[in-house]
Amino acid sequence: MLDYSLVKKELLVALRGEQSQLAMSRHLGFTFNQWHKWETEQKWLRWDEFVDILIQLKIPVKNIFTTLFNFAEDPRNFQAILRNLCVGLSTEKIAETLEQNEDTIKRWAKNDISPSVETVLCLIQVRQNNLAELIAKLVSIDNVPALKTLFQSQKAHKNVEVQYPFSPAIEACFCLEAYKQLPIHSDQWVAERTLISVPLVRAAINKLENAGTIRKLGNHYELVDGWVQLNGLPLKEAVKVDHYWTKRALDRYSGPDQIPYLPEDRANTNVRSFRVASVSTEAAFQIQERLRQASQDVLAIINNDQGKKTEIKVYVSHCFDVKDIHWKVTDGTNYAE
C-alpha cells in the first residue's frame, strides 16, 4: 500500500531542490513560509494549488497529462479528471475507492472545492496504475524513494512488452480459467492459445519473470500487480506494440477466403467496423473524443469484470486522416480486372 502523504512530501522536497523552504515560498510569491506548512503538513495542499505550482515552475503539466492519460483538459479541473479516470463508476464507488464521504466526492465533482494532492495521486494509481510514471516526468524519480522501486519494476515490464509485444497475450493466458485448471503449466498450451511459437513463449515468460511482472505459484504462473500502462513510453517504442496488434488484426483476413474466422463452438464476440467520411474539423474532434471515451469505457469494463475469464480479447481502434499515410500509394495493383 502506497503512502501518498510520503509521496507528496518527497515530491515537494524534490521540486524545492536546493532552495530553502522560505526561498521557495518567496519564489512563488508568498511573503511568509507557505512551503514549510505544505511540506510539514501543517496545511493541506489542494490539487489545483499544486498544478499552479507546477505551472509557475515551468513544468509542462498539461502536456504530461495529455501524454500519460490522453487528457486534453485543464489538469486543475478535478471534475474532468474524474470524468476521464472514473468512467462507469458511481460517486458511491469512487467514494469507496478513495475512502471518502460520498457528499465530498459530489462537491469535488462539481468543482466546488478541490481535493488534496494525496487524493488525486491515489486516484491516478488506483485507476491508471501510472503514478510512478507521472512523478518521474515531474522530478527525478531518484528523489522520490517511495515510488522508485515501483517505477523501476514497471519500466522493466514495459521494456519486456516493447521487446515482446505479444507478451500481454501471454499474461492474459495466466488469468484464464482453462489455464488455472491445467494440472501443471505448459508452454505448449500457452503457445497454442496465443498463436505464438513455443520458444518465444518461453523467452517472454523468462523476461516477464525476471522483470517481476509474473511469478510461479505452485504449478502455475500468475500476474504480480495486474496490468501496467504503456502510456509514457517514447512514441517509437509504443508504436512497436501498436504495430504488432494492428498487424495481428489484419492477419484475421489472411485465410483462404479473406474472411475473419468465426468460432463455431461459442458465441461470437468479435466485432469489426469502419467508415471513411468527409467531416468538419469540429466533427473530427468529436469523433476523436468519442473514441477516447470508448477506450475508457472498455478499460472500465475490464477493470470491473468479476466473471470467470474465458477469452483473450484484443481491442484496437484507429482514426486518422488519409494525409497521415506517407509511405504507400494505392496504385491499382491487384484491383484492375
Tell me, what CATH number does 202's domain have? 1.10.10
Q: Are residues 13 and 121 in the same domain?
A: yes
User: Are 174 and 213 within 8 A, CB to CB?
Assistant: no
Choose one of 177, 196, 223: the last residue of a domain: 223
Residue 214 predicted with pLDDT over 90: yes
Number of domains in the chain: 3
How many other β-carbons are positioned within 10 Å of the β-carbon of residue 227? 16
> What cell does 320 get?
486518422
8-state DSSP, 44: P
- Cα 31 to Cα 58, 210, 266, 322: the distances in Å are 21, 51, 69, 55
The confidence band for 86, taking pLDDT boundaries of 50, 70 and 90, is confident
Q: Are residues 188 and 138 in the same domain?
A: no
What does the alpha-carbon distance between residue 330 and residue 315 come to, in Å, rounded to a whole number?
27
The arithmetic mean of pLDDT across residues 97-111, rounded, is 86
Residue 19 predicted with pLDDT over 90: yes
User: Are 125 and 131 within 8 A, CB to CB?
Assistant: yes
Choose one of 199, 223, 247: the last residue of a domain: 223
- In-domain check, residue 94: yes
- In-domain check, residue 331: no
Angle between helices 47-56 and 61-69 (to 10 degrees): 120
205 phi and psi, to 5 degrees? -60, -45
- In-domain check, residue 230: no
Q: Are residues 216 and 265 in the same domain?
A: no
The confidence band for 327, taking pLDDT boundaries of 50, 70 and 90, is confident
Q: Are residues 19 and 90 in the same domain?
A: yes
Give the structural domain span for 36: 4-143
H-type alpha helices, 70-164: 78-85, 91-98, 102-109, 117-128, 131-138, 145-163
Choose one of 126, 143, 160: the last residue of a domain: 143
The arithmetic mean of pLDDT across residues 247-274, rounded, is 80
Cα-atom radius of gyration of the chain, to the nearest Å?
A: 23
